[in-house]
């Protein structure tokens, strides 16, 4: 009904001059899309990174993105995976250091919170999304990476428990509480930046000091 333009279509342009993009053979176009999508996602978040905007940035029709990716979530997932893998590598590196497990826990949580504040949109996608507007199973790989990060983090907590230094509760519960406490802090800093927060570094320190002192004995 809106497309009756063809009846009068004097505009029949000959596709003779190919104004379209040269074919990005194979995986090169894929990389272009990811790069453009990452820029937009970082700048404007999940809702702001629309298929059309990404396609425009690459200089290609929106449909073309479906040549390389199943859907929008897959694009964002691949971007986020790169970021989370960095976090996992950080945790693995810390876990390999022969330090006191409490120090290891602290280092990991500090790295975690720093990561969150430096990659707020990725962080929200992985750790704050509710499956409401983002289907969880579509970004299952990313969520699985998040799980592996938590498991890596659990190791030193279990080591603390094995030393009998847990004031109360199981190692599992302690790990969850430590993680979720830090998660709460950074997620609020990210989602409510306009509130009159104290200095983030001080908040992180108070959170870590408080939780570790409260949960672990010397």
Interface residues for DNA in 55-84 (CB under 7 A)?
Answer: 60-64, 66-68, 71-73
Interface residues for its own copies in 69-128 (CB under 8 A)?
Answer: 124, 127-128
Minimum Å gap between C-beta 108 and its own copies is 16
Instruction: For the chain, give the secondary structure using H, E and C.
Output: CCCHHHHHCCCCCCCCCCCCCCCCCCHHHHHHHHHHHHHHHHHHHHHHCCHHHHHHHHCCCHHHHHHHCCCHHHHHHHHHHHHHHHHHHHHHHHHHCCCCHHHHHHHHHHHHHHHHHHCHHHHHHHHCCCCCCCCCCCCHHHHHHHHHHHHHHHHHHHHHHHCCCECCCCHHHHHHHHHHHHHHHHHHHHHCCCCCCCCHHHHHHHHHHHHHHHHECC
12, 193, 194, 218: residue in contact with DNA (rule CB under 7 A): 12
Binding segment toward its own copies, per CB under 8 A, in 13-21, 26-34, 84-92, 171-179: 171-179
Interface residues for DNA in 14-53 (CB under 7 A)?
Answer: 14-16, 18, 20-26, 29, 49-53
Q: Identify what 51 binds: DNA, its own copies, none; CB under 5 to 8 Å per kind.
A: DNA
Tokens read off for 70 = 């199943």
User: Should residue 130 be labelled a site residue for DNA when binding is judged by CB under 7 A?
Assistant: no
11, 98, 198, 218: residue in contact with its own copies (rule CB under 8 A): 198
User: Should residue 142 be labelled a site residue for DNA when binding is judged by CB under 7 A?
Assistant: no
Q: Identify what 147 binds: its own copies, DNA, none; CB under 5 to 8 Å per kind.
A: its own copies
Q: Identify what 124 binds: its own copies, DNA, none; CB under 5 to 8 Å per kind.
A: its own copies
User: Should residue 52 be labelled a site residue for its own copies when binding is judged by CB under 8 A?
Assistant: no
127-149 in b/e form (b: 16+ CB < 10 A) is bebeeeebeeebbeebbebbebb
User: Should residue 209 be labelled a site residue for its own copies when binding is judged by CB under 8 A?
Assistant: yes
Minimum Å gap between C-beta 52 and DNA is 5
Contacts to DNA by CB under 7 A: 2-3, 5, 12, 14-16, 18, 20-26, 29, 49-53, 60-64, 66-68, 71-73
């Amino acid at each position: 009904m809106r497309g009756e333009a063809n009846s009068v279509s004097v505009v029949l342009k000959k596709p003779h001059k190919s104004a379209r993009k040269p074919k990005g053979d194979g995986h090169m176009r894929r990389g272009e899309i990811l790069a453009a999508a990452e820029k937009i996602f970082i700048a404007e978040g999940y809702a702001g990174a629309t298929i059309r905007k990404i396609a425009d940035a690459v200089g290609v029709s929106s449909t073309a993105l479906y040549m390389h990716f199943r859907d929008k979530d897959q694009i964002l997932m691949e971007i986020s995976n790169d970021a989370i893998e960095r976090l996992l590598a950080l945790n693995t590196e810390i876990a390999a250091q022969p330090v006191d497990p409490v120090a290891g826990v602290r280092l990991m949580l500090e790295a975690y919170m720093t990561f969150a504040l430096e990659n707020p949109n990725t962080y929200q996608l992985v750790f704050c999304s509710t499956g409401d507007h983002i289907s969880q199973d579509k970004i299952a790989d990313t969520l699985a990476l998040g799980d592996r990060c938590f498991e890596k983090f659990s190791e030193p907590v279990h080591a603390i428990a094995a030393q009998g230094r847990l004031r109360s509760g199981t190692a599992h519960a302690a790990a969850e509480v430590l993680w979720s406490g830090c998660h709460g802090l950074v997620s609020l800093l990210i989602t409510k930046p306009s509130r009159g927060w104290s200095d983030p570094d001080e908040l992180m320190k108070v959170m870590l000091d408080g939780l570790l002192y409260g949960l672990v004995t010397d």
